[in-house]
Amino acid sequence: GAWSTSWMYLFQSPNLACILYSHAHEEMQNILGRCSFCYGRGLIVFLDPSNAQKDGSARLGLVEFQILWNKIRKWLGIFRQYDLDKSGTMSSYEMRLALESAGFKLNNRLHQVLVARYAENETIDFDNFVCCLFKLEAMFRSFQTLDRDGTGVAELNITEWLLMSMCG
């Protein structure tokens, strides 16, 4: 199916992909079957680098897949909880509540920027919600590595800025 052809290349081993798919087929199909979001090789960038494959293959092993899958399941639960009208999309207000529940308390300006970036027709679907959360996690993680003193302030040179903004 679509899952096996579009996701198979993400795994270190095609056998691992098949085993995971056969054991969690229904749950995976439920979530992945309706999603087209920022999965693929680009998604690997959002995983915590400390959990990345030591061989640099940018492919998922069992540990990486488990981390990814647990995040997606957690975020699906949050999405469903804060999709207050059960429309399958979130309003700006619902998104604010959902982001806070996911651990991101953002100021109004940043929230407005995220809604403008991730909303389609003034609503946020699950695809865009997950992409937003992956990006927020990656950016917070990048900032924390640059905030060497833990002061909430980071000084960047051009290389660090480009790496963070292009890859983070």
Residue 143 is predicted with a pLDDT of: 83
Single-letter code of the amino acid located at 135: K
pLDDT tens digits, one per residue of 8-63: 445 545 555 555 555 554 555 555 544 444 444 445 444 544 444 445 555 566 77
CA torsion sign for 85, 90, 92, 97 is positive
E strand spans, the chain? 89-90, 124-125
63 near 14, Cβ under 8 Å? no
Enumerate residues 6+ apart whose C-beta is below 8 A from 7: 17, 32, 39
pTM of the model as a whole: 0.71
pLDDT tens digits, one per residue of 76-117: 999 999 999 999 999 999 999 999 999 999 999 999 999 999
- Output DSSP code: residue 11: B
